[in-house]
Amino acid sequence: MEPVNLDESFASFDETWAPRIAAELNDYAVKVAKLDGEFVWHAHDETDELFLVRDGRLRIEFRDRDDADLGPGDLLVVPRGVEHRPVALEPTEVLLVEPTETLNTGDAAESDLTHDPERLS
């Protein structure tokens, strides 16, 4: 049981769209990620996904409903199976809460944006 400092966590990497595991609870991970620009359309068939914006502006686009615009302090839960695409309107820092082994690209074809979650030291 060690405290996690979010400032230090975000300062420890520069890569965008590559979540890092900052903490774990039960079978879930609290992941930190830096985002910039558009991501891929995808869904997570087996789990919901929580986005919490720490800094910046994030739009979550949906094919079948209105988009959601998030700013610092805003959070959104994307239900399992809902196709979505995160778009960082500026460099953005987010916390994600989802099962530890969840791939960031969900059901999308593997690409250079696909990353297994890496643990912060």
| 55 beta partners | 93
In sequence order, the 6+-apart residues with CB closer than 8 A to the CB of 75 are 50, 51, 52, 53
Instruction: Please tell me the predicted confidence (pLDDT) of residue 3.
Output: 94
What number is the average pLDDT over the span 96-102?
Answer: 91
Of 8, 36, 23, 37, give the one whose Cα is nearest residue 93. Answer: 36
CB within 8 A of 5, min separation 6: which ones? none
pLDDT tens readout for residues 37-58: 999 999 999 999 999 999 999 9
**Model pTM greater than 0.85?**
yes
Task: List the domain boundaries for the chain.
Answer: 6-119
In words, the CATH class of domain 6-119 is: mainly beta
Instruction: Tell me the C-alpha to C-alpha distance, in Å, between residue 62 and each of 48, 59, 79, 84.
Output: 14, 10, 11, 5
